[in-house]
Structures are given as C-alpha cells and as structure tokens.
Structure 1
C-alpha cells in the first residue's frame, strides 16, 4: 500500500523550487570534487573527502525530495468556513490573552517558527473541520488544553 503525504500547493512548489536550486548547484559541486581529486593521494586528501561527502548529501537530498513529490497528495483549500489544510486560523489559547495565527499544512511543510502547523499534529487534529467560535480540547503529550478558534481565513 502506498501512503500519500498530504500537502498544500505552496508546499509542493517549495519542494520543486528546492530541487531546482540543488540541481543548479550540482555541477559546481561536481567541479569541486574533480578539482580535489586532481590534488593527488586520495587517502590523505581532506578536500576530496569533504567534496565527495557534500555531493553525496546533495544527491541524497534530491532523492528524498523527489520521493516527497512522487508520493504527494496536493490538497487545495476549501473556503467553507472550516479549518482545513491550506487555511489560516487565528487561535486563542485558554491560558493566554493574545491570539496566534497559524497556517494548517501537511506534515512535511510544518514549521512552527514560520507559523505553520501540521493538520495531523495534536493541535491540528483538535481543530480540523471546526468553525470559528468553537473551543476545542487539544490532547498534547504534556497534557490537555483548550483553544478557541477566533477566525478561519
């Protein structure tokens, strides 16, 4: 059985952009490897070892990203007033007066520092398919807490 990763169109595009950047950088890294190889004895050539490792990391990253695209299920956001993949939500946590804004994204796109939470994270699961005004209970590893959906954009 093939497991498809849900992601937003923006997340899919970000992966495509990273693949393009890496492919553009590959010839430069190959050239560095070739120059390091021409320096002589490979057993004591740290430039060669580092260049080979760097190229290997680049190739590995390209394979990984390629698989992410191959098994991606791009989900377009529905504007039905419910929290869903691709939507932005404004939340008020029960222990805080301030509100916070998050975009609901696929697991591979999640980045809390950028305000992106995964739809299948504890918070994401608690608010999915709910509308503004609803208070949900989040079952997090550190314990349960309440969050109110202020707005769905």
Structure 2
C-alpha cells in the first residue's frame, strides 16, 4: 500500500473534520431522519429524502477522510532539519523575476492542496521545480505559457 505525504497540519485538520462528521453531523442527521419518518408517507416526504441524501454525502466524506488518513505518511516539517533546503512541508517565498511579484507557497500533499490558500501539491510543477533548492537559488517552472523564472527569497519550516 503506497503512502502519500501529508503535513501534520493537514492531518490534524482532516481529523478535526472527521470528528465533527461523526460526533455532530451523524447524530443530527439520524435525528432528522427519525423526525421525518414520523411525518408518514416517505415517498413524498422531502425532509426525509433531503436527510437521507445528506447522510449519503456525510458517509462518503467520512470514508474519503478515513482512507486519506490511513494512507498518509504524516510529516511534521518543524521537526525536520533540512539545512535550508526546500522539502515537503516547507513554506517558500519566491519572486517572479519577470514581474517582480512576490508569492508564498506551502508545499503540501494532494489532499491538502488549495491554491486559494497558497498550498500547492508536492506533485505540482512549481513544487517540483522548488524542491531541493535553497534561498538565493533560481527555479525555472515550465508553465503552459512558457518558462517562469523564480528566485527563492525565503524558506521557512513552520
């Protein structure tokens, strides 16, 4: 069984979501189904069908999270000593050498990646170009629009 890297922060967030789903959402939905059953005919009972649909979504998410956590290799970057190199879990500040735009990325596992939060997958072209480099190095990212040159300004293990 192949393990997938996940940050400690990401694993903790998934565990918190799993606990909420099991301890809050499941009991609430079970009660909603029971309440809706009391209304009689289930064929035309919208509350019952909505609760059953929500139950299906919650159970699917529970299975998804449990699967992700069971296949996770949890890496706590604060406990590593990568010697200034960019590794999984590192937060990296880069400057686009063409536009002078400064960007900050945290390199995370696939399950945790969220571009809106500047969390990029370890498998993304940007992360692959950055891994192994250090502050002051240049990284060339092959993008659909052409190569993008970045200078690594700072590497943090937070």
Q: TM bucket by the smaller chain?
A: over 0.9
Matched, 1:62 2:66: no
Q: Which residue of 2 aligns with 1:105?
A: 108
* Normalised TM-score (structure 2): 0.91
Structure-1-length-normalised TM-score: 0.93
For 1:141 and 1:8, the matched residues in 2 are separated by: 28
Structure 2 counterparts to residues 136-147 of structure 1, below 5 A: 136-147=139-150
Aligned to 1:13: 12
Structure 2 counterpart SS, 1:39: coil
* Alignment coverage as a number of residue pairs: 152
Q: What is the alpha-carbon distance in structure 2 between the residues aligned to residue 61 and residue 52 of structure 1?
A: 14
Return 5+ residue gaps in structure 1 as ranges. none
Render the CA deviation track for 1:95-148: whole Å, top value 9, x for unaligned. 222311111111111111112111110100000011111111112344321111
Aligned: 1:124 with 2:127: yes
Q: What's the C-alpha RMSD, in Å, of the aligned pairs?
A: 1.2
User: Deviating runs (4+, > 4 A) in structure 1?
Assistant: none
Counterpart in the other structure of 2:29: 29
Which residue is 1:44 aligned to? 44
Match of 1:150 in 2: 153
User: What SS does the corresponding residue of 1:83 show, helix, strand or coil?
Assistant: coil
Q: Residues 28-83 of structure 1, C-alpha deviation per residue, up to 9 Å, x if partnerless?
A: 11000111122111111111110000011111100110000100011232331011
Q: Partner residue of 1:4?
A: 3
User: CA 1:142–1:34 in structure 2 vs 1: closer, same or farther (change >3 Å)?
Assistant: farther
